[in-house]
Chain A
């Protein structure tokens, strides 16, 4: 049927089907700013303004638009113009991945069209329909208010006057251990004491211009304008649509599959099952070579191990036909007993989940134990036995989903040279290229992986989750194939966070000094091993690093169950460990009648301390670590002051005379994370100079919305003495950019940034040599600043002049360099998380009123993006603490299959969040930087649990802290 409507002020006609959604129709028409995030209108990414009202287009039939006015972000401006709302979003740091940005901008327009002077509450309410998993909504709400001021014609001060809640980008500088010219382990061990007393404090304050500046993101304009930047924002001639059949059973053998009816359906081009693809064992986690064992997966198997497991995949002319074909596939299942509890799973007689003979490296398949870890230093048993006081507590954490608003999606096609191109929403393009090659029988040289902009990852895309199936279909049909998960499949068949049961045992002196600490963990890895062993090792590291103790032990089992597979998720074992550790520390402090902060500070690692567990345990193998920068004390002070921690000492504050059923509470947690995987992670960069003195920066590092392209561009710009606008950043394409492990392990600024800095320094040296040639002098004493090389005697040449000279005049050369970087150091960022909550003692409902966090991430290369990382992580952590949980029925089928049921926090219900940066200078990092991407997700759960204890006296050792759990605990207390 033909529909006629006004699209972005132009009369438009579209041919649509009766069942076609407005979302699909608009995207078919090339309106790429309208995004698919779910199918139920609950995420808001697909929103448009219809007759001025914000509506989700995924649940609106295209036919319903007939006769109406539709406005999308494309219609706000023409050409290169930027609308004031877009400008406000760009400047405020409101754009991270940018996938939901067009919808947020439209929501803002809908508000500001009616309300010239919006209140903060109205701004929050306006953004309520648009779920954002990146920002924590702090900056977008600011952007709404800023946009309102622009539209009122007011002078709006530039953001970099006082850009963020950081008082100063570089000061006051906390103590630093240094200097260290090159990362590495000192020969003969660590001699920290001398260094503390003799080394000067390093500061970059006087020496940086671009580094430390809240530059706007290099990709912000295109994201604000909703341009075609994401995987799905393109089409290919003859492209087919893939759909996947998944298992309705938690555990079953497939006796047979009959695909004849599906294949016979007109428009179906391929149906693939285990009968059609080679059986190649692999592990799907996007990790360095060789992938950690076990290798227990194949592309398509004759056994299914969880509800949602792969059964078959179809490619057809349309998605509707592909889905119809799925219904025609007849599967003969032999249903097997299933097990969902890891402790039950390890027992004799439990169903054996991996009975296939060709799996590699399973520790004990008969007892469903995927792997084990035992790591210790000192003599834990002796120290425990000799301790004056001993404590033991057990904690449990739940399975949660990354919920990036852009689902997993890839498009595969043959290029003109018969090479397979995989355009995919991935955090790990190079790992995908390497890992997929054996599965599809192509050499790496015939595979190209392109990573466009990514609509959020959070670890969920540190995985080769769907690319192999799309590639198999392209190989089978010879045609381009688009394969995207539905939101329901994101919950049933993507990855998630591992649930843990953690028991801590501690031995202490009477004075509260830690003597021994043991962490015993059982990790539920679901149906496949994937990231199980490495997540678990990080949990051990995080759980046993923060507090100084020579006698530590980590004893863990990674166990299969018939549940959807956990994988990488921001924090990667840290949030689980820190919930347990920081709850445990709080419990000990209270038992010892010590102030919780005082007790922690008595035991916490400090500048110059070694981290004993790092010598016994590590994701890429043990690598000894020493703390070389430490701003924890200031973090506690900043975040504690912001929440008014002093109230914790006032017993009356806990009560509200007007609301007798309410108890107030304060809680806190100390944070310590890692930066990269020492000795394993590697990044590289290429920089080449252009005629006008600009530079191309090519990096394999994968910006998934974090702002790493911007941060890496700033490092290059700083080193090359140019503004950021003169750095043209391109990431990541395996044919064009150099290798990088990808976006994970809080590594990009530190590792890839190290590579960029080295590379830029090499280019700078070439520039000096060229300037010396031009000025007939030596390079000694030359300065590169403000796009100009200046000699000590005051003569100078511009970069443009240097470029022209190098290309055209004498000893012609392309000024360019490449560099790689790895590190044996993994400098920990430190931080403090505080929470203020209210507990309804009748219903058990916990309402988080305020969250404050302060983090020492070394030098914040870009304070705006760094704070954005913290705010977004805190918002995710809030859901982890109080509401998010993948819930199952008795047959192992997920009950929370849509955003409405799973429920991630929306803008209109967020507590106040305040995030602070406490700069230090990390000697091993580029310009003093260390990580900031993950630490913010570690502390909300324990801080909230500790606050619930403060409020009510009940100790919850299991998250999420749902109303019913609190209610039960309160009843028990009574």
Chain B
């Protein structure tokens, strides 16, 4: 049975802050993920609809793209910026995230609040070194996406709202690889890679994997193995091995821990090779 007793749709930040700051009653914004829980299992007693706060936007700036936290996943998919930039990984991740109906109601903040569904958007943000903006009343703080996701539900304190994600433009190549039961099913494992290369020298590497650990995360050992090295087949194989070793997956009906760890390696290898091939293009 639903816990929701009150519903508010604040028109401005001041009202939102007042509502979200109430003590003694479980208050939370309505954030729909790509794998939402039934309404009667939502835990909040006060549901806060933030749709009037202007958090649905995609703004292209010189150094980055800014995405409002309540931007729908479908809006990401439809936006030509995400088809043309970042080697299209956001477009791809959005497409895999859910069906179009769910993509219309699921938001980027919703996706980042729940790792039960597809995590490919989180992977894309992780390897992009995105920064999230968190607002409480009039104050805003910034947090790296890595830190934000690592803290899980504790990342936000009472009254805080995730308002924006900044995705910096970087001079590098991005790739995303996945394995799933069917083409549209949630991934069993997915791996995303960002490489900044000078010739064949890897200046910077970011590798993020979902399905190979309790939540999507950067694989730092893989990144260390790659950085400041010359790109080579042997290095890719080594990175794949490290990914398998660094994986700490659980087993479920989509795949066992052993399979997931193996896929972490295989998909890391593929993502690295895809990125390298993109660079060659």
Contact surface of A with B, Cβ cutoff 8 Å: 1, 18-19, 21, 39-42, 44, 47, 53-56, 58-61, 63-64, 66, 107, 125-126, 128-130, 320, 323-324, 327, 486, 840, 842-845, 847, 882-883, 885, 887, 895-896, 900-901, 903, 905-906, 908-909, 960, 962-964, 967-968
Contact check, B9 vs A63: say whether CB atoms are below 8 A apart: yes
A315 to chain B, nearest CB (A): 16
Contact check, B38 vs A40: say whether CB atoms are below 8 A apart: yes
Contact check, B182 vs A903: say whether CB atoms are below 8 A apart: yes
Contact check, B182 vs A63: say whether CB atoms are below 8 A apart: no
Which of B12-20, B194-202, B231-239, B254-262 lies at the binding interface?
A: B254-262
Contacts of A47 in B (CB 8 A): 101
Q: How many B residues have CB within 8 A of the partner chain?
A: 46
Q: Which of B235-264 contact A (CB under 8 A)?
A: 252-253, 255-256, 259, 262-263
Expressed in whole angstroms, the Cα–Cα distance for A47 and B3 within the complex equals 24
Do A18 and B39 contact each other (CB < 8 Å), given the known contacts A41-B102, A963-B188? no
A808 to chain B, nearest CB (A): 57
Select one of B51, B101, B104, B253 contacting A64, CB under 8 A: B51
Q: Which of B37, B51, B105, B186 has the most CB of A within 10 A?
A: B105
Expressed in whole angstroms, the Cα–Cα distance for A861 and B47 within the complex equals 55
Select one of A21, A125, A843, A903 contacting B185, CB under 8 A: A903
A91 to chain B, nearest CB (A): 25
Contact check, A39 vs B39: say whether CB atoms are below 8 A apart: yes
Select one of B74, B183, B262 contacting A967, CB under 8 A: B262
Contact check, A126 vs B100: say whether CB atoms are below 8 A apart: yes
Contact check, B181 vs A53: say whether CB atoms are below 8 A apart: no
Do A882 and B181 contact each other (CB < 8 Å), given the known contacts A19-B4, A320-B2? yes
Contacts of B105 in A (CB 8 A): 41, 55-56, 59-60
Q: Which of B99, B183, B188 has the most CB of A within 10 A?
A: B99
Does chain A have a CB within 8 A of B6?
A: yes
Complex A-B, nearest 7 residue pairs according to Cβ-Cβ distance, in ascending order: A129-B101, A887-B253, A39-B38, A19-B2, A19-B4, A909-B184, A909-B183
Contact check, A18 vs B49: say whether CB atoms are below 8 A apart: no
Expressed in whole angstroms, the Cα–Cα distance for A724 and B152 within the complex equals 62
Contacts of B266 in A (CB 8 A): 842-843
Expressed in whole angstroms, the Cα–Cα distance for A129 and B7 within the complex equals 28
Select one of B51, B182, B256 contacting A909, CB under 8 A: B182
Contact check, A59 vs B9: say whether CB atoms are below 8 A apart: no
B197 to chain A, nearest CB (A): 24
Contact check, B5 vs A19: say whether CB atoms are below 8 A apart: yes
Q: Which of A21, A63, A323 has the most CB of B within 10 A?
A: A63
Contacts of B35 in A (CB 8 A): 40, 900
Contact check, B47 vs A61: say whether CB atoms are below 8 A apart: yes
Contacts of A905 in B (CB 8 A): 182, 184
Contacts of A55 in B (CB 8 A): 101, 104-105
Contacts of A126 in B (CB 8 A): 100
Does chain A have a CB within 8 A of B89?
A: no
Expressed in whole angstroms, the Cα–Cα distance for A107 and B183 within the complex equals 21
Do A1 and B7 contact each other (CB < 8 Å), given the known contacts A41-B105, A843-B263? yes
Contact check, A128 vs B100: say whether CB atoms are below 8 A apart: yes
Expressed in whole angstroms, the Cα–Cα distance for A61 and B40 within the complex equals 11
Query: Which residue of chain A lies nearest to B3 when distances are taken between CB atoms in the complex?
Result: A19
Does chain A have a CB within 8 A of B117?
A: yes
Query: Which residue of chain B lies nearest to A129 when distances are taken between CB atoms in the complex?
Result: B101
Expressed in whole angstroms, the Cα–Cα distance for A972 and B40 within the complex equals 47
Contact check, A66 vs B9: say whether CB atoms are below 8 A apart: yes
A972 to chain B, nearest CB (A): 13
Expressed in whole angstroms, the Cα–Cα distance for A547 and B57 within the complex equals 64
Q: Which of B40, B117, B179, B181 has the most CB of A within 10 A?
A: B181
Contact check, A885 vs B38: say whether CB atoms are below 8 A apart: no
Expressed in whole angstroms, the Cα–Cα distance for A931 and B6 within the complex equals 55
Contact check, A883 vs B181: say whether CB atoms are below 8 A apart: yes
Contact check, A18 vs B6: say whether CB atoms are below 8 A apart: yes
Do A906 and B4 contact each other (CB < 8 Å), given the known contacts A41-B105, A845-B179, A885-B253? no
B54 to chain A, nearest CB (A): 15
B124 to chain A, nearest CB (A): 20
Expressed in whole angstroms, the Cα–Cα distance for A847 and B183 within the complex equals 8
